[in-house]
């Protein structure tokens, strides 16, 4: 195999402490780890808020939490989980994995990448600090005019914190788009990118168009509260429904911002543990792009009962957006069908995601039916729906990704036995916690209430839901213990413990400073599979990447040639250009030749062929 090894960067002694290195780093891998650890910290905080909410609702009457504090808890729980857990967690995974998957050395703008991260804990501190100033008892949607007239100063801290988080996401989206468009490895065309890269790209586009709208609305609301702007305050001639339009124009694309990365993670894991390529790769790409485009056409289905929107239009598009999502489900099932399934922990979480997210999608389709939406508006049916989407969706995918990529990040595999215990606790707890809420919603229980009458017949279902919430909390304990004992153990997972397909598994675990010493050739969406199974063994393209070089100025998108054919114009190790007549294997063998076998050494044969003297005029 013809490759070029990157020159070794000169090492300089450093007296800086490891804390200083982490606090000042611009390395995308360290920033990704910072994102993930910060997000998990806020996940624990948001989970404690959820336990407080469910403990209060377990039985009728006010037991532990007064209504004022209850309003603050459910408001801050939702904001914490959405803006400080799910979004930063997926951004952290993208930071670590996307540059390696496309063969880049780093993100396009490393310092802006660091700035984007440090806005997250700063915004989080402002939001959590709202508790010290009266909290933010206005709901996570912050509907006007309540959010305008609420006297608590904590609301202002919440608005400022969200503006910081929004600015961070906008900068991050621009950085991801520049990285994906300009820093892909040679041969990495758009239709050869891994699905996780594709969903990161579409998510970045959604962020770039949706978040400026929300950020502008937050600034307008701050002006209304402090300077009498009159945007949303009807006493000053403002329009409260305008805030709902502004919020949900961001809010519904936000649903796909939170779930599209989960789709990409599942699409990376299923082929690896099914031993098959992803079924319908191009259809999956176009379905992802369709969801991104249609996501901006359905925001007002959250506003059916306002009387201010055209119901048939938004009902139709709400049904229509289910079509590309259905394509993904069929592709996932077809990928597994007939495969050699291995139910390691990442695969368990991926299959759990598919089964539970289907429930969330179907009960969301019910809400597209206008009469049904009128009936269950502001009931626990809506609470169940959003939690089946974000807990059964995003959280299951996050844990699938953590188990899948943990060996790449640390060099050690998490314990499978503890992983399976965690999965079943989370899977059962999710259904026990949220399925009864469908029944509560159909029976008329309103959300956002701290108490209910004892004669309503809701006590048993609420108690069951609370038991499920504590099961979900208990499922996190095996994970934390798993990480603790794994990090204290040997780092012997190897570079590719899952026998995977994409470029991140072609480098060491953890990767070196600039990710690759040798960059494999890219001739399909599964470059590592091609490399391991002989498809490109006889014509690997040399990639002259020096330490610190990003390949951005070297990349030229290769044509869509078939596997088993050489690439004209690529140079081999001797510096000679190989033409289209080079002999290669038409079919990929099952594996590369084992040591001691009689199979020919393709690398040696290629070297001898390039060194063989040629007659004058003979083509090289």
> Which of these is catalytic: 54, 301, 438, 578?
301
Please list, in sequence order, all residues whose beta carbon lies within 8 angstroms of the beta carbon of residue 424, skipping any fewer than 6 positions away: none
Note if 447 is an active site residue. yes
Active-site residue, 256 included = yes
CB-neighbour burial class of residue 338 (10 A; exposed 0-12, middle 13-18, buried 19+):
exposed
* Residues 176 and 200 sit within 8 Å (Cβ to Cβ): yes
Cα 29 to Cα 27: distance, rounded to the nearest angstrom: 5
| Active site (annotated) includes residue 385 | no
Catalytic residue selected from 3, 28, 75, 106: 106
Tokens standing for residue 415 = 């314990």
Other beta carbons within 10 angstroms of residue 264's beta carbon come to 28
Active site residue 301: yes
Q: How far apart are CA 148 and CA 101, in angstroms?
A: 46
Residue 571 β-bridge partners: 577
252 noted as active-site residue: yes
140 catalytically annotated: yes
**Which of 28, 30, 54, 252 is the catalytic position?**
252
The answer to whether residue 551 is catalytic is: no
CA-to-CA distance for 504 and 370, rounded, in angstroms?
A: 46
Q: Is the dihedral of CA 440, 442, 445, 448 positive or negative?
A: positive
Distances (CA, A) of 56 to 23, 62, 454, 602: 40, 7, 14, 68
Instruction: Name the active-site residue from 245, 302, 385, 526.
Output: 302
Query: 35, 70, 96, 140: which one is catalytic?
Result: 140
571 catalytic residue (yes or no): no
Q: Measured between alpha carbons, how far is 454 from 58 in angstroms, rounded to an integer?
A: 11
Tell me which of 28, 77, 225, 551 is the catalytic residue: 77
The two three-digit tokens of residue 1, written as one number: 């195999």
Q: Is 254 a catalytic residue?
A: yes
SS3 of 60-86: the string is CCCCCCCHHHHHHHHHHHHHHHHHHHH
Catalytic residue among 267, 288, 379, 475: 267
For 139, 175, 448, the CA distances from 73, given in Å and listed in that order, are: 9, 34, 10
Which of 254, 344, 363, 415 is flagged as catalytic?
254
Active site residue 281: no
Catalytic residue selected from 38, 136, 179, 325: 325
Q: Residue 411: left (phi > 0), alpha (psi -120 to 50), or beta?
A: left
Examine the residue annotation and report whether 225 is marked as an active-site residue of this protein: no
Catalytic residue of the set 153, 276, 420, 447: 447
Q: How far apart are the first and last CA of the chain?
A: 17
- CA–CA distances in Å: residue 79 to residues 82, 86, 481: 5, 10, 27
Length of the chain: 620
Under 8 Å between Cβ of 55 and 64 = yes
Of all helices (H) and strands (E), which one includes residue 49? helix 28-57
Please identify which of the residues 4, 38, 116, 169 carries the catalytic annotation.
169
Cβ(264)–Cβ(196) under 8 Å? yes
Q: Catalytic: 169?
A: yes
Give the whole-angstrom CA distance, residue 293 versus residue 301. 16
Omega before 145 cis (within 30°)?
yes
Whether 77 is catalytic is yes
The torsion angles phi and psi of 412, rounded to 5 degrees, stand at: -130, 145
Reference 191, options 559, 570, 520; nearest CA is 559
- Helix (H/G/I), strand (E/B), else coil: 577: strand
> Catalytic: which of 30, 184, 328, 438?
328
Q: How many CB atoms lie within 10 A of CB 189?
A: 15
Gap between the Cα atoms of 204 and 210, Å rounded: 10
Kindly name the residue from 3, 38, 80, 168 that is annotated as catalytic.
168
The residues that are catalytic are 77, 106, 140, 168-169, 252, 254, 256, 267, 301-302, 325, 328, 447
């Amino acid at each position: 195999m013809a490759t070029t090894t990157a020159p070794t960067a000169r090492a300089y002694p450093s007296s800086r402490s490891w804390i200083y290195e982490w606090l000042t780093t611009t390395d995308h891998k360290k920033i990704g780890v910072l994102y993930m650890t910060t997000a998990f910290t806020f996940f624990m905080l948001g989970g404690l808020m959820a336990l407080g909410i469910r403990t209060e609702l377990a039985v009728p009457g006010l037991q532990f939490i007064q209504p004022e504090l209850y309003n603050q808890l459910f408001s801050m729980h939702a904001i914490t989980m959405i803006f400080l857990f799910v979004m930063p967690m997926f951004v952290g995974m993208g930071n670590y994995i996307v540059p390696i998957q496309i063969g880049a050395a780093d993100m396009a703008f490393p310092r802006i990448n660091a700035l984007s991260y440090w806005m997250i804990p700063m915004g989080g501190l402002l939001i959590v600090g709202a508790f010290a100033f009266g909290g933010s008892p206005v709901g996570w949607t912050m509907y006007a005019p309540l959010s305008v007239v609420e006297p608590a100063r904590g609301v202002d801290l919440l608005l400022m914190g969200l503006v910081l988080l929004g600015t961070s996401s906008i900068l991050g989206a621009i950085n991801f788009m520049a990285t994906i468009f300009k820093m892909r490895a040679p041969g990495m065309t758009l239709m050869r990118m891994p699905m996780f890269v594709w969903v990161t790209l579409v998510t970045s586009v959604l962020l770039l168009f949706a978040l400026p709208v929300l950020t502008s609305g937050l600034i307008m609301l701050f002006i209304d509260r402090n300077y009498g702007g009159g945007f949303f305050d009807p006493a000053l001639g403002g329009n409260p429904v305008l805030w709902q339009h502004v919020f949900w124009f961001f809010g519904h694309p936000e649903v796909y911002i939170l779930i599209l990365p989960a789709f990409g993670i599942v699409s990376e894991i299923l082929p690896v543990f099914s031993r098959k390529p992803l079924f319908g790769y191009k259809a999956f790409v176009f379905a992802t792009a369709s969801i991104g485009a249609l996501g901006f056409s359905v925001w007002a289905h959250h506003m059916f009962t306002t009387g201010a929107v055209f119901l048939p239009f938004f009902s139709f598009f709400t049904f229509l957006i289910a079509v590309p999502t259905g394509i993904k489900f069929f592709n996932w099932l077809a990928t597994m069908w007939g495969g050699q399934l291995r139910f390691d922990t990442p695969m368990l979480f991926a299959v759990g995601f598919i089964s539970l997210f289907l429930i969330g999608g179907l009960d969301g389709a019910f809400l597209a039916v206008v009469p049904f939406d009128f009936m269950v508006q502001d009931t626990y049916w809506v609470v169940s729906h959003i939690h089946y989407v974000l807990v059964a969706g995003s959280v299951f995918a996050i844990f699938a990704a953590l188990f899948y990529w943990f060996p790449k990040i640390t060099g050690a595999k998490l314990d499978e036995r503890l992983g399976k215990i965690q999965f079943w606790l989370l899977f059962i707890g999710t259904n026990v916690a949220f399925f009864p809420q469908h029944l509560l919603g159909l029976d008329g229980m309103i959300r956002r209430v701290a108490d209910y009458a004892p004669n309503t017949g809701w006590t048993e279902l609420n108690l069951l839901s609370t038991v499920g919430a504590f099961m979900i909390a208990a499922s996190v304990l095996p994970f934390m213990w798993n990480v603790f004992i794994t990090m204290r153990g040997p780092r012997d997972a190897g570079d590719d413990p899952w026998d995977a397909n994409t470029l991140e598994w072609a480098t060491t675990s953890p990767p070196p400073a600039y990710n690759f010493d040798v960059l494999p050739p890219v001739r399909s969406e599964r470059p590592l599979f091609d490399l391991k199974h002989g498809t490109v063994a006889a014509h690997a393209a040399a990639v002259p990447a020096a330490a610190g070089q990003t390949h951005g100025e070297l990349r030229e998108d290769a044509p869509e040639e078939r596997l088993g054919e050489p690439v004209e114009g690529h140079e081999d190790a001797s510096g000679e250009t190989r033409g289209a007549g080079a002999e290669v294997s038409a079919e990929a063998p099952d594996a590369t030749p084992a040591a001691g076998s009689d199979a020919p050494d393709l690398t040696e044969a290629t070297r001898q062929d390039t060194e063989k003297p040629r007659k004058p005029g003979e083509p090289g």
